[in-house]
Structure 1
Amino acid sequence: MYKIGEFIIYGNCGLCKVEDIGPIDISGINNEKDYYTLKPVYEDGKIFTPIDTDVFMRAISTYEEAQQLIERIPYMEEMDCSEKSINILQSKYKSFIKTYDCEDLLSVILGIYKKEYNAINKGKKLGQIDEKFMKLAQGLINDEFSIVLGISREEVEKYIKEKVRDRQYNN
């Protein structure tokens, strides 16, 4: 069970802060059940979810875990993004992202960076699917790491790009 004031990753909503825990007084909702009241960190609104929900939730990384992960970026294996079938590629991206695991998200980012690097060298651009999932994976990482590291989301992306820039890509 999470505590009031904690930051968590909550399903597709991403980074949220636990604002309250307990029954909620909303018509049609079981007021004998405990709910988390979540506030998305970078969006408006509130989320009310039962504490025993099936929606994915996890505590955010610790500062130490984030630092260790960032240090491993130059040595991580990137996701293979060379699939030609749009449907299969999209399904593959979704399967990596729905784990909400930072290492999986970084694997997607690294794979798409490699794909973009190769495309640019051939005078081409990334496809819309690649761009969509790159933005999604980067957003999830940047949001989480900004809180964990105490820096802006934009600084997280720049820091990660610096770590990735030195990678040597071979076909």
Structure 2
Amino acid sequence: MFEVGDYVIYGGEGVCEVEDICTLDFKDLDKNTLYYVLTPIYRKKTVIYAKAEGAKTFMRRVITKDEAENLINGITSIDTLSISEGENRKEIYKDVLHSYKCQEWIRLIKTLYLRNKERLDQGKDKLKLEEDYLKLSEEYLHGELSVALDMKKEDIRGYILRKVNSMEKQVVQK
């Protein structure tokens, strides 16, 4: 069970803070059921009521600072997605996005980035599907990492790039 002040990933909302844990006195609700009162940290005027037990929407604790640093330090060893010709890319992208796992979001980001780069190198335009899922996966990942690392969300991309570039330089120097 989460506690007041905890940060959680709540489905497609991304990072939310647990503001309260209470029962609700609404017409058709069981008065004995506990609910989390969640505030999405990037949409402050929104309030979400989520069952503390038996909720259908995915919810998990935000990763720790150490887990975030380890994840970033391991980015270069995370493989891209393997998608066969004829597979439904949209369904695969959606499933990966809704796994709500940072490592899977990185796999998706790397896959989409490289796919877009390959298309541009061939003189083709980027595909809207890839652009949309790239934006969503970065939004989820950067939102969670910003809380875990206590950084501004808009600084996360640069932070990751600096760390990855530093790791690549170390490999080249060896």
Give the TM-score normalised by structure 1: 0.89
Give me the whole-angstrom Cα distance separating, in 2, the residues matched to 1:97 and 1:67. Answer: 21
**Aligned with 1:61: secondary structure?**
coil
Q: 5 Å matches for 1:99-110?
A: 99-110=99-110
Instruction: Return 5+ residue gaps in structure 1 as ranges.
Output: 167-171
Moved over 3 A (4+): 80-85, 161-166
Contact 1:81-1:112 at 8 Å conserved across structures: no
Query: Which residue number in structure 1 is paired with residue 75 of structure 2?
Result: 73
Q: 5 Å matches for 1:40-59?
A: 40-43=40-43, 44-52=45-53, 53-59=55-61
**Aligned with 2:74: secondary structure?**
helix
- The alpha-carbon distance between structure 1 residues 158 and 125, as it changes in their structure 2 partners (threshold 3 A), is farther
Give me the whole-angstrom Cα distance separating, in 2, the residues matched to 1:6 and 1:119. Answer: 42
After superposition, the C-alpha distances for 1:31-81 in whole angstroms (9 at most, x for unaligned) are 221000000110131000111112111100000000000001112101236
* Per-residue deviation, 1:30: 2.0
**Aligned with 1:109: secondary structure?**
helix
Contact 2:21-2:37 at 8 Å conserved across structures: yes
- The alpha-carbon distance between structure 1 residues 102 and 110, as it changes in their structure 2 partners (threshold 3 A), is same
- The alpha-carbon distance between structure 1 residues 129 and 111, as it changes in their structure 2 partners (threshold 3 A), is same
Instruction: Return 5+ residue gaps in structure 2 as ranges.
Output: 169-174
Give me the whole-angstrom Cα distance separating, in 1, the residues matched to 2:85 and 2:20. Answer: 44
Contact 2:73-2:164 at 8 Å conserved across structures: no
Give the TM-score normalised by structure 2: 0.87
**Aligned with 1:142: secondary structure?**
helix
Give me the whole-angstrom Cα distance separating, in 2, the residues matched to 1:157 and 1:101. Answer: 18
Give me the whole-angstrom Cα distance separating, in 2, the residues matched to 1:109 and 1:29. Answer: 40
Contact 1:81-1:115 at 8 Å conserved across structures: no
Query: Which residue number in structure 2 is paired with residue 31 of structure 1?
Result: 31
Give me the whole-angstrom Cα distance separating, in 2, the residues matched to 1:55 and 1:66. Answer: 23
Query: Which residue number in structure 2 is paired with residue 9 of structure 1?
Result: 9
How large is the Cα RMSD of the aligned pairs? 1.9
Contact 2:24-2:31 at 8 Å conserved across structures: yes
% identical equivalent positions: 29
Q: 5 Å matches for 1:1-171?
A: 1-43=1-43, 44-52=45-53, 53-80=55-82, 83=85, 88-162=88-162
